[in-house]
Amino acid sequence: MLKVGLTGGIGCGKSTAVQRFRELGVPVIEADLIAREVVAIGQPALQEIAGLFGTQALQVDGALDRAWLRQTVFSDPVRLQQLESILHPRIRADILSKIAACSDSAYVIVDVPLLFEKGYTQLFERILVIDCQPDQQRTRVQQRDGSDDAVITSIMQSQLGRETRLQQANDIISNTSSITDFYEKIDDLNNQYLRISNA
Domains of the chain, each with CATH number or no CATH: 1-27+107-194 (3.40.50.300), 33-101 (no CATH)
CA distances from 143 to 62, 76, 148 (A): 33, 30, 10
Work out the average pLDDT over 97-119: 94
Instruction: Tell me the Ramachandran region of residue 99: left when phi exceeds 0, alpha when psi lies from -120 to 50, beta otherwise.
Output: alpha
Has residue 50 got a pLDDT over 80? yes
178 labelled ligand-binding: no
H or E segment to which residue 174 belongs = strand 171-174
161 labelled ligand-binding: no
Q: What is the pLDDT of residues 116-170, one digit of tens each?
A: 988 899 999 999 999 998 888 888 888 887 777 777 777 777 777 888 999 999 9
What is the pLDDT at residue 187?
Answer: 98
* Cβ pair 10, 159 in contact under 8 A: yes
14 labelled ligand-binding: yes
* Cβ pair 34, 94 in contact under 8 A: yes
DSSP for 35-92, please give it.
HHHHTSTT-HHHHHHHHHH-GGGB-TTSSB-HHHHHHHHHT-HHHHHHHHHHHHHHHH
What is the pLDDT at residue 142?
Answer: 80
Q: How far apart are the C-alpha atoms of 158 and 74, rounded to whole Å?
A: 10
11 labelled ligand-binding: yes
What is the pLDDT at residue 147?
Answer: 75
Cα pseudo-dihedral 137, 140, 125, 85, rounded to 10: 80
12 labelled ligand-binding: yes
58 or 74: whose pLDDT is higher?
A: 58
Q: What is the pLDDT of residues 8-46, one digit of tens each?
A: 988 899 999 999 999 999 999 999 999 999 999 999 999
Q: What is the pLDDT of residues 59-102, one digit of tens each?
A: 999 999 998 998 888 778 899 899 999 999 999 999 999 999 99
pTM of the model: 0.88
15 labelled ligand-binding: yes
Q: What are phi and psi for residue 155, nearest 5 degrees?
A: -65, -45
Has residue 190 got a pLDDT over 90? yes
